[in-house]
Structure 1
Amino acid sequence: MMGSEDLFHKRKARKSTDNKRKKARRQPYDKVLIVCEGQKTEPVYFEEVRLIHELDSANIEIDGTCGSSPMSVVNHAHALYLKELSSGDSYNKVFCVFDRDRHSTFHKAVKLVETINQELAAEGLSDQVKFKAITSNPSFEYWFLLHYNPTTKPYAPIQGKSVGDQAIDDLRQFIPDYRKTQKGLYQKSIDENTLSSAIANSKRIFESANRSDDSDSCTNVHELVLYLRSMKDA
């Protein structure tokens, strides 16, 4: 019967070999984790960005298996980061994608991302990995809306309509058949030449918005889109 020490060494050697294989499969650009609050709109969209720009799936991991609250997104992303780190590998960037919508933990989640980065800096790891909150107020659909209308209207809950539902209603003025599982929206923005306008609108509005004021509509999805588009050039 094989001793426990022999089993330990064999498992350790196998783990090391698996990590080397994983690294060998990756391309020479960043390894990135994108954690989204759901399995619908956001993961579908970023997967399309990855495919269109021919970014390797070994480099770009998109996860939508956590809960819908902002805190669950950040905690899940941190857990996945620690798990990968314990395996002897690591992500270069970790993006936490979540909405303001009706979530009471929105600002707490943004603060937690800052705290994680402070801890990484204290450990001397800030140059190797950095967490980033990619937020949308009121919802991710606001990013799509900015392709057509640079609105900064304040959204507030009304009877029977959340702020997220209202953003979808506004978006359907331009994409009447929009649904949360819809594919092809990134390609559509390229074909219709609306992506550059969306990026410019998003950047300008986000930079001027006071993020502590819940009435401000803004998003920084443009930061993640620009990052993914430029990965191969870095």
Structure 2
Amino acid sequence: MDRLEGIVTLPQKRKGKSVNQLRRRKKPRRHASERFLIVCEGEKTEPNYFRRLRGFHRLSTMDVSVCGRECQSGPLQVVNYAEYAFNKDRNFDRVYCVFDGDCEPDKYYEALNRLDSMELKRVSDYGKKAGKAYAYAIPSVPCFELWLLLHYECTDSPFGGSCNDVIDRLRNHIPNYRKNDKEIFEKTQPVLDVACQHAQWLHQKHSDPREDDPYTAVHKLIEAVIKQAQ
């Protein structure tokens, strides 16, 4: 398939339930089937986003724990803190590390490699061995704002590692967008299903976080959280 540049239009048909068809539960569930630990590079934007996502689907902090301010900025710092936080509470089933690719390439690659080789061993509430936990990289190239942009555009045009260029494009749709916006989830949620479609399309074309620009895996985490709420 020839490379597409700029904005494209996707077919409207999509099998299965859409994200926006997954309504809030009338009552909070007791506990999800698995426990997630989400560690974010951003101090406010990403943690705020995932906390609001968790709240929208009536998941508890026990079901989905979100960290951001606790770790320093940078992919390696995120991975290091994720391992530290897991070892403090080895009852998580999955650990997700959310970070950007607009940093020094060697540190970005090292973070990806560490997650590929990381071994996390769970223990039960009674301190007994309970099998493996799984660590996942959720990078965005050049930055998390690419995920937000995909709510409105479907693009595979490279940004050359510039997050500012992504933000400029995003402001065509959210004129007052700024980092640390506490309500960014609510502003974008009505078109969350569109973002997941666009991200899946992009992932079919750009599936290598080490080489591709743009790239994001945020939709995989979104879908995992929503599945927890079903």
Does the TM-score normalized on the shorter chain lie above 0.5? yes
Separation in structure 2 between the aligned mates of residue 127 and residue 153 of structure 1, nearest angstrom: 42
Separation in structure 2 between the aligned mates of residue 190 and residue 114 of structure 1, nearest angstrom: 31
Task: Mark the CA change 1:72 to 1:210 in structure 2 (over 3 Å): closer, same or farther.
Answer: same
Task: Give yes or no for contact 1:210–1:216 (8 Å, CA) kept in 2.
Answer: no
1:44 to 32, 48, 52: 48
Moved more, 74-83 or 26-35: 26-35
- Aligned CA RMSD, in angstroms, stands at 2.1
Shift of 1:57: 1.3
Shift of 1:190: 3.2
Shift of 1:213: 5.4
Q: Which has the higher contact order (CA 8 A, sep 6+)?
A: 2
Could you say which structure has the larger radius of gyration?
A: 1
Residue 170 of structure 1 is matched in structure 2 by 169
Q: Which runs of 5+ in 2 are unaligned?
A: 1-29, 123-128
Task: State the identity as a percent.
Answer: 33
TM-score w.r.t. the length of structure 1 is 0.76
Residue 112 of structure 1 is matched in structure 2 by 114
Separation in structure 1 between the aligned mates of residue 56 and residue 209 of structure 2, nearest angstrom: 35
Task: Give yes or no for contact 1:35–1:97 (8 Å, CA) kept in 2.
Answer: yes
Between Structure 1 and Structure 2, the one with more helix by share is 1
Task: Give yes or no for contact 2:139–2:209 (8 Å, CA) kept in 1.
Answer: no
The answer to whether 1:148 aligns with 2:152 is yes
Separation in structure 1 between the aligned mates of residue 32 and residue 101 of structure 2, nearest angstrom: 35
| Letter of the 2:112 counterpart | V
- Length, aligned pairs only: 193
| Letter of the 1:218 counterpart | Y
Separation in structure 2 between the aligned mates of residue 177 and residue 51 of structure 1, nearest angstrom: 24
| Letter of the 1:108 counterpart | E
Residue 68 of structure 1 is matched in structure 2 by 73
Separation in structure 2 between the aligned mates of residue 218 and residue 68 of structure 1, nearest angstrom: 20
SS in 1 for 2:89: helix
Residue 27 of structure 1 is matched in structure 2 by 31
Task: Give yes or no for contact 1:95–1:133 (8 Å, CA) kept in 2.
Answer: yes
Q: Which runs of 5+ in 1 are unaligned?
A: 1-25, 158-162
Residue 87 of structure 2 is matched in structure 1 by 82
| Letter of the 2:187 counterpart | K
Shift of 1:195: 1.2
SS in 2 for 1:202: helix
Separation in structure 2 between the aligned mates of residue 31 and residue 203 of structure 1, nearest angstrom: 25
SS in 1 for 2:59: coil
Separation in structure 1 between the aligned mates of residue 72 and residue 32 of structure 2, nearest angstrom: 32
Separation in structure 1 between the aligned mates of residue 98 and residue 56 of structure 2, nearest angstrom: 20
Shift of 1:164: 1.2
Aligned 1:207-218 pairs, distance under 5 A? 207-211=204-208, 214-218=211-215
Shift of 1:77: 0.2
SS in 2 for 1:74: helix
Which string of whole-angstrom CA distances, capped at 9 and with x for unpartnered residues, describes residues 144-202 of structure 1?
A: 00011111111225xxxxx11111111111111001111223223333xx211110111
Between Structure 1 and Structure 2, the one with more strand by share is 2
SS in 2 for 1:147: coil
Shift of 1:47: 0.5
Task: Mark the CA change 1:73 to 1:126 in structure 2 (over 3 Å): closer, same or farther.
Answer: farther
SS in 2 for 1:35: strand
Separation in structure 1 between the aligned mates of residue 45 and residue 99 of structure 2, nearest angstrom: 11
